[in-house]
A = this chain, B = another copy of it.
Amino acid sequence: MSTQLTPTPTLTSAEIPPAVRAWTRLLRAHATTTRLLNAELQARHGLTINDYEALQILSCADGHRMKRVDLARRLVLTPSGVTRLLAGLERVGLVERTACPIDLRVAYAQLTDAGLAKLREVSCGHEGSVRAVFEKHLSPEEIEQLVDVLGKVPGGED
Contact = CB atoms under 8 A, between A and B. Distances in A.
A6 B5 CA distance: 68
B22 A147 contact: yes
A155 B22 contact: no
Contact of A113 (B2, B30, B98, B149): B2
Given A2-B64, A36-B154, A138 B149 contact: yes
Interface in A125-145: 127, 130-131, 133-138, 140, 142-145
A75 to B, nearest CB: 8
Given A29-B150, A60-B11, A149-B146, A130 B20 contact: yes
Contact of A12 (B6, B28, B60): B60
Given A32-B154, A142-B149, A155-B31, A59 B20 contact: no
B131 A154 contact: no
A77 B26 CA distance: 15
A25 B133 contact: no
Given A18-B147, A29-B156, A32-B156, 5 more contacts: A9-B61, A11-B56, A23-B133, A26-B156, A137-B152
Interface of A: 1-3, 5-7, 9-12, 17-36, 49, 53, 56, 59-64, 75-77, 96, 98, 110-113, 116, 119-120, 123, 127, 130-131, 133-138, 140, 142-147, 149-158
